[in-house]
Structure 1
Amino acid sequence: MRQAAMPTCFIVGAAKCGTTSLDRYLNQHPDIYMAPRKETHFFASPDMPARYEGPGDEAFTENLIRSLDEYQSMFAAAQGARVRGESSVYYLYFPKSLERIARTVDHPKVIAVLRNPVDRAYSAYMHLVRDGRETLPFLEALAAEPARRAANYQPLWHYTSVGLYARQVEHLLRVFGREHVLLIEYEEFNAQPERTLAQVFHFLGVDERVRVDTSIRYNMTGVPVAGLYQMATQSNALTRLLKPFVPGRWREKLRTQVKNLTLRKEPLSADVRAQLLERFRADILALEAVWGRSLAHWLHQASPTAETTA
């Protein structure tokens, strides 16, 4: 297998922890090439069904890459970049995918972003509400998770399971070694993206002084303002008109700004937050020991500031 046609860096999770924004920001660095398709989950695909069965799961299934040739083709345009990166947020969740990466790629750099699991679960829920796929109230949706997992709903519906990080991170560190893994706390990335990016650049061995545009936050969630979100996400006459004159990156930036303006935030109630926190408390404490980092602020029941990176 040609290592030059494989990534050297992986963003492995977790879902709804700012990985889309991180991917877009890294791709602005002149020494970093990020695969043009996110969430292909090549190394997890052997553990995934031929088709996921949840409402709207077809797009996730269709985006999966199961062929090595197709996977390597994503890096054909890397043109000698010092770092070739790939982002698939469920590599962390599917433990065998990490082992496949370790067997296939020589000494990869691995990045995981972790978020307060209560907020991560609610963000995943609101993502599906935003897309018109989730119709249950939040607590009912949490109760439905085991049945949905059994019915082959894709992992975005696994609201609590994905956020049980301790064993996932322990396995990640065991497979790659701590020196090859960078763990990022979402809340710090959200508050100080430039500082976090400097840490990532240092970890990847590229120029830390490069400044990238972090003004846009990608894949945000919320309740769609009636009709407007759908209009913003569909190809329309304005998009077609701008396409010949506006570079793709700027079209994406404009489209993302418009989409974000059509979403209304709906905070999680204190009572529900407290209930969900109790589900995660033991795992958060276990993660503290694995990570070697205090996460006492995750155990605080107050609602966080509004989500700005997803």
Structure 2
Amino acid sequence: MPDDPAGLSAYRVADLPLLRADQAVGRSSAPRSHSVGWRSFPPAGFIIGAQKAGTTTLAAMLDQHPQIAVARQKEPDFFHVNWDRGIEWYRTCFREPRDILVDASPSYTMAPPDDETVPARIFALQPLARFIYLVRDPAERCHSAYWHEVRSGRERRSLRDAVTQQAYYVHASYYYRQLTGFLRYFPLERFLFVPFDDLTADPVATAARSARFLGATGVEFQFRDIGAKNQGFQYNRFGRFAQDRFGEGGFRFASRLASRLLPRRLHSPLKRAITRDMPALSDDDRTWLGGRFSADAFRFEQVTGLRPTGVQGA
């Protein structure tokens, strides 16, 4: 068995029996409403992560299906940061009552250890939920999340300093630890585990498999490959100057406005003018990060049969 730098030896699925419905509801009361009438609401389909593992791409592809509606804002985060807004607000996140509603919020698998708030709330509101969990090389995922924060201007520390000092970067790469919280409320067969490499290699087949898992029926739908969304990049000197000048929110608004107003043929040249490729993960940093995730990856494979790529000894 690999080393256990994260102290995961105490986490064993065998010690996590499923809770009865009355136990789960008692731990997290759901907001109540008498005016929600959609037979498909609340949603029974969830893309729960991992962050920076293709959730945006898969959500956009599933939304093509005539039986599936992904939340209008791709990440409602209702069961995490927006719980207090209430169920009526959550309903407005879905534009129409299709047969299958999908909430794609990677934040649901970014919880600190022992925090089962999200799965408890989902169970209280929708005990028949099904989950798609995309998993990526945990070191690459962590590296991508770090550069996302660097690009936004919120992170100026080195990779190792940021990862050491800010647990946010590693929580979402502990796939086994995140999964155990959900397994206290939902059986393993309610989860479809999708490797990031499968999505990038054949997004159409991955979307079709995901749609079937969520319960889409009838004539086989032909998905359209839309290309990768939210690809990693960083701003160059000009892009950083503009971001510092206008602030993160103002710069993002200006970028979106330009993409709507300018002809499509100008989108790529404009992006190249203010960005450059994200640096590759070095071998030394890969080894350093891999040591943090190896024990968790080993246990994740024991439970799911899926080995996360890129972790030595997993």
- TM-score normalized by the length of structure 2: 0.73
Q: AA paired with 2:166? A: E
1:293 aligns with 2:293: no
Q: AA paired with 2:110? A: Y
Deviations 1:157-183 (A, max 9, x none): x11122111121133233221222211
8 Å CA contact 2:297, 2:307 repeated in 1: no
Q: 2:194 is paired with a residue of what secondary structure? A: strand
**Which whole-Å CA distance do the structure 1 matches of 2:37 and 2:297 have between them?**
37
Tell me the number of residue pairs that the alignment of Structure 1 and Structure 2 aligns. Answer: 262
Aligned twin of 2:289: 276
Deviations 1:71-102 (A, max 9, x none): 11222x31x41111111112123322111111
Deviations 1:210-257 (A, max 9, x none): 233323211122222333586994436755646xxx9xxxx8x99699
Aligned twin of 1:27: 63
* Structure 1 range deviating more: 165-174 or 208-217: 208-217
Matches within 5 A, 1:27-46: 27-45=63-81
Q: Which of 126, 131, 141 is the matching residue for 1:105? A: 126
Aligned twin of 1:215: 226
Aligned twin of 1:50: none
Runs of at least 5 residues in structure 2 that lack an aligned partner in the other structure? 1-32, 244-250
Deviations 1:122-170 (A, max 9, x none): 0000111111221111111112215xxxxxxxxxxx1112211112113
CA RMSD between the two structures: 3.0
**Bigger radius of gyration:** 2
Q: CA deviation at 1:106?
A: 4.4
8 Å CA contact 2:70, 2:103 repeated in 1: yes
Q: AA paired with 2:212? A: H
Matches within 5 A, 1:44-193: 44-45=80-81, 66-75=85-94, 77-78=95-96, 80-94=97-111, 95-146=116-167, 158-193=168-203
Q: CA deviation at 1:260?
A: 7.8
Q: AA paired with 2:165? A: A
**Which whole-Å CA distance do the structure 2 matches of 1:45 and 1:35 have between them?**
16
Q: AA paired with 1:66? A: R
Matches within 5 A, 1:178-257: 178-207=188-217, 209-228=220-239, 233-235=252-254, 238-239=258-259, 241=261
Q: What percent identity do the matched residue pairs reach?
A: 29
The change in CA–CA distance for 1:225 and 1:14 in structure 2 (over 3 A counts) is same
- TM-score normalized by the length of structure 1: 0.74
